Amino acid sequence: MDYKKLIADKLSKSIELETSQIEDMLEIPAKAEMGDFALPCFKLSKILRKAPTMISDMLSEQFETDNAIEKVQSVNGYLNFYLNKQNASADVLSKILSEGENYSKSAEGKDKTICLDYSSVNIAKPMHIGHLSTTAIGNSLSRIYKHLGYNTVSINHLGDWGTQFGKLIVGYKMYSSKKQVEEGGIAELARIYVQYHVDAENDETMDDDARAWFKKIEDGDAEALELFEYFRALTIEEVSKIYAMLDVKFDSYNGEAFYQDKMQPIIDELEEKGLLVEDQGAKVVMLDKYDMPPCMILKKDGASLYATRDMAAAQYRKDTYDFHKCLYVTAYEQNLHFKQFFKVLELMGKDYSKDLVHVNYGWVRMEDGSMSTRKGTAVELKDLINKAIEKSLNIIEEKNSELENKQEVASIVGIGSIIFAALKNNRIKDMVFSWESALSFEGEAAPYVQYTHARCSSVLTKSDISLDGKTDFSTLDNEDAGKIITLLRDFPEIIKSAAERYEPSFITRFSIDLAKTFNKYYFEHRIIDDDGEEKVRARLILAQCTKQVINTALYLIGVKAPDKM
């Protein structure tokens, strides 16, 4: 039953508002004793021209309770609604049981497309821990929007343009060979890049050579383009292996190079609309009216910049996908860049500029410090993943050495622990990655939630009672079961909030709360007992529904849930 709609329908008899408007006003109270739903009547003061307390008192008197809503209470301008616990329990659990993995899905995104620009690796550089957040957040948001019925387009906007490719070619010719690159892969290209910067500090001519080689790429020189395409293909091949381990898929790898022939119409339009001005030889759009520095479109030498390419990309995506929204998942240090080019598109009269969203996030560092690709001290994501799997396998050997498929489970737990750690807290917070925290079976970590899922599976396999048939839900009439059912009921709203706020951590935190609540119930109440099949069935259904919702929650953040651990 859609309790919000039921309450809103009843309230609409007393309030001259659309049911959907009243639904939007309803909230879930922070404390259980304040009811299951609440209507803050402060929002109705202007409409009804009465004090909030008078409104809540009036609505309380007029509201008709029934088998679904058993009590209504007016408290300090809030109208609190209390559900009939037994009926609500039966309703929620029956719904989850019948819908399975479709529970909490919706069609709100029907015929709408969300473009997601995330991960965005650089050619010839290994993925490092700095790519963890953008990849995890972007992949999770893609899954969340699909769950809500949207079409999604995942885009890996490759960093495949710029003078660094001239540097790479110079370094390749000085220090390496095709044989060495084929044997060493991206690691060899990274070695070349690091060595180049070491030597270039004492030899200024190297940078001149690098600029010359990049100019050759721009001019279509055969040798330069062949090396450029070789480095690009090698990078995509290697990072695809990491994405496969993370279960991340992209619909497009169109990067900066793809938009080189698509920038001129944007530049021409800026000229036509009088937005481009010359500043010390460069072409810029002045944004001082908006408390921002100028947005540079062309350098003195006529070269394009990130903003130029990003505006061309935005226009291409609108023309190609007609997106409802286009999300850019990048670190908060790029806040100004996105504000600038969003504003320039708005000044150009691009209606879709309002649908561009910078989903920013904080930095990720290991406990022993940060990283620098140029100096070669970056923590590679591949190494992080392999270490997580190795540590997980050691823990499994210690806790359950007889477990079947230990290597597979270790992979699920290890990779899950990394992703979960990246999505556990509000995305804007900086994160220090800790092995002890990430791999905890007791704390707020993936293994803890995954183990709860496995615990539910174990309980269900120990009983031969069918989940179909007459069920006595009175056995769930206790506070611990009630808390689980409330969480299960609220799950669809959590997903919608995560989508609205671009915040996967809402789902991660929810999974922790559900795991903790179920484990408390598990330790304080016998699930399989001799007090009658109908009552046992109710508790088994509770375990099955908890398992299903944990599975869905973990899937939405990109984590798998094993049945045994």
Tens of pLDDT along 201-237?
Answer: 999 899 999 999 998 998 889 999 999 999 999 999 9
| Domain stop point among 332, 366, 400 | 366
pLDDT the model gives residue 54: 95
Q: Decide if 406 is inside a domain.
A: yes
What is the reported pLDDT for 134?
97
H or E segment and range at residue 72: strand 69-75
Q: Identify the band that residue 372 occupies on the pLDDT scale cut at 50, 70 and 90.
A: very low
Tell me the per-residue pLDDT of 316-354, one tens digit each, with 9 for 90 and over. Answer: 999 999 999 999 999 999 999 999 999 999 999 999 999
Give the end of a domain, one of 246, 270, 294. Answer: 246
Range 363-387 average pLDDT: 72
Determine, yes or no, domain membership for 377: no
What integer pLDDT is reported at residue 564 of this predicted model?
Answer: 94
Overall average pLDDT of the 494-499 stretch: 97
Q: Which residues, listed in sequence order, are joined to residue 141 by a DSSP beta bridge?
A: none
Q: Among 224, 246, 268, which residue terminates a domain?
A: 246
Residue 93 falls inside a structural domain: no
Model pLDDT, residue 8: 94
| Amino acid, res. 40 | P
pLDDT digits (tens, 9 = 90+) for 132-179: 999 999 999 999 999 999 999 999 999 998 888 999 999 999 999 999
pLDDT at 368: 66
pLDDT at 531 (0 to 100): 85
Say if residue 455's pLDDT is above 90.
yes
Residues 6+ away with beta carbon under 8 Å from 285: 270, 275, 276, 277, 294, 295, 297, 344, 347
Q: How far apart are CA 55 and CA 51, in angstroms?
A: 6
Query: What is the value of pTM for the model shown?
Result: 0.91
In a shared domain, residues 123 and 222: no
pLDDT at position 374 over 50: no
* pLDDT for the residue numbered 431: 87
The answer to whether residues 150 and 61 belong to one domain is: no
Same domain, residue pair 79 and 169: no
Q: What's the mean pLDDT in 388-394? A: 95
Q: Are 341 and 394 in the same domain?
A: no
Residue at 104 is within a domain: no
- Residue 108 domain-assigned (yes or no): no
Q: Are residues 132 and 186 in the same domain?
A: no
CATH at residue 20: 3.30.1360.70
Do the domain assignments include residue 94?
no
Tell me the pairing of strands 356-361 and 364-366: unpaired
Same domain, 452 and 546: yes
Mean predicted confidence (pLDDT) in 114-133: 93
Position 95 in a domain: no
Q: Are residues 415 and 537 in the same domain?
A: yes
In contact, 158 and 120? CB cutoff 8 Å = yes
Same domain, 122 and 197: no
Domain range for 77: 3-83
Q: Indicate if 274 and 132 belong to the same structural domain.
A: yes
| pLDDT score recorded for residue 356 | 98
Work out the burial of residue 362: count CB atoms within 10 Å of its CB; fewer than 13 is exposed, 13-18 middle, 19 or more buried: middle
Amino acid in position 260: Q
The count of domains in the chain is 4
pLDDT tens track for 542-559 = 999 999 999 999 999 999
- Other CB atoms closer than 10 Å to residue 95's CB: what's the count? 15
CA-based max dimension of the chain: 85
Q: Tell me if 374 is assigned to some domain.
A: no
For 89-101, how does the pLDDT look when each residue is reduced to its tens digit (9 = 90+)?
999 999 999 999 9
Q: What is the mean pLDDT of residues 169-195?
A: 93
Q: Read off the pLDDT band of 442 (50, 70, 90).
A: confident
53 and 175 fall within a common domain: no
pLDDT value of position 377: 56
Burial of 142-162, coded b for 16+ CB within 10 Å and e otherwise, reads bbbbebbebbbbbbbbbbbbb
Same domain, 551 and 420: yes
Average pLDDT of span 265-273:
96
Residue 548 belongs to domain with CATH number:
1.10.730.10
* pLDDT tier for residue 477 given thresholds of 50, 70 and 90: confident
In a shared domain, residues 276 and 336? yes
Q: Under DSSP, is residue 67 helix (H, G, I), strand (E, B) or coil?
A: coil
Q: What is the overall mean pLDDT for the chain?
A: 93
